[in-house]
Structure formats: structure tokens, C-alpha cells
Amino acid sequence: EYENPSGIKTNIKEMVIDWISAGLDPKKCTMFVQSQVLEHAELHLLLSMFIPLSWLERCPTYKQQQQELKDKNLSTYGFLGYPVLQAADILVYKAEAVPVGEDQLPHLELCREIAGSMFTLYQIVRNNKIIKP
């Protein structure tokens, strides 16, 4: 829970143990703590400055979770803006493949729209391909 951050360090260690147990080899892949990469937070901030709220509010997962989690206070940018953080996560590392479940496809599509807007705004040449599962 975000209200009690005291377990974060333990959770990070347990997650790494889970990844290694699942077969990820630290000699063959890079493991890092996302919150320690300042560029990720910076890109998230920059993207959040120009994305219309209507783009975020139309995400089906946002609407669905608002219904499912009525007892929680979801009226925060952190909740609404999660797809922007996810887009920053994809874009900052120049991901070519993004493994997501069907429920995350709208977020991936939003990422494509965000990237397209940024690339158009700043006249950046891009590779515009999405591979659906």
C-alpha cells in the first residue's frame, strides 16, 4: 500500500528473488529499481505537462477500476496518470517489445498516441509499429 512505504525495500528484495527463481539470469539481463532512474521521472513529468486529461479519462481500465474500487480514494493524478508513467517507462528505455496483458492494450495504444504527439511536436523521426498479442 502506498500509505505504508516501510516495506518497499523488503518488497524489492523479494521481487528480485522471485525473478531469479523464475529463471532470469542477472548476468544476461539488467535489473534495476525504476524509481532510482531519474530520467524516467523526468520524462514522466514532461509528458504529463501536455497530455490532455480527456486522453487519460477515456482509458477503459481507469473507468473500470473506479467502479471496482469505489471504497478507495482514486481521485489522484497518480491513479489517473498511471498510463503516462507507463508510457515514460516504455519510451525512456526505447523499448521495442512490451509484454502486456489484454487489459493493458489501451495503455499501450495511449503510449503510441503520446509518442506520436511528442514526435510530431518536436519533429522526431520514429518507428511506428505495435505488435499485438
pLDDT digits (tens, 9 = 90+) for 64-119: 777 777 787 777 888 889 999 999 999 998 888 888 888 888 888 999 899 888 87
pTM of the shown model: 0.74
Q: Parse the chain into domains and list their residue ranges.
A: 1-31, 34-133
pLDDT digits (tens, 9 = 90+) for 6-38: 888 899 999 999 999 999 999 998 899 988 999
Q: So what's the pLDDT on residue 95? A: 82
In eight-state DSSP terms, residue 34 is G
Q: So what's the pLDDT on residue 120? A: 77
Measuring CA to CA, which residue among 41, 75, 62, 47 is closest to residue 104?
A: 62
Q: So what's the pLDDT on residue 131? A: 47
Asked whether the predicted pLDDT for residue 55 surpasses 50, the reply is yes
Compute the distance between CA of residue 21 and CA of residue 61 in angstroms, rounded to an integer: 30
Which CATH number is 34-133's, of 3.40.710.10, 3.40.50.620, 3.20.20.10, 3.40.50.720? 3.40.50.620
Measuring CA to CA, which residue among 78, 79, 95 is closest to residue 87?
A: 95
Q: Please return the burial class of 114, using the count of CB atoms within 10 Å of its CB with bins 0-12, 13-18 and 19+.
A: buried
| For range 42-71, the mean pLDDT | 86
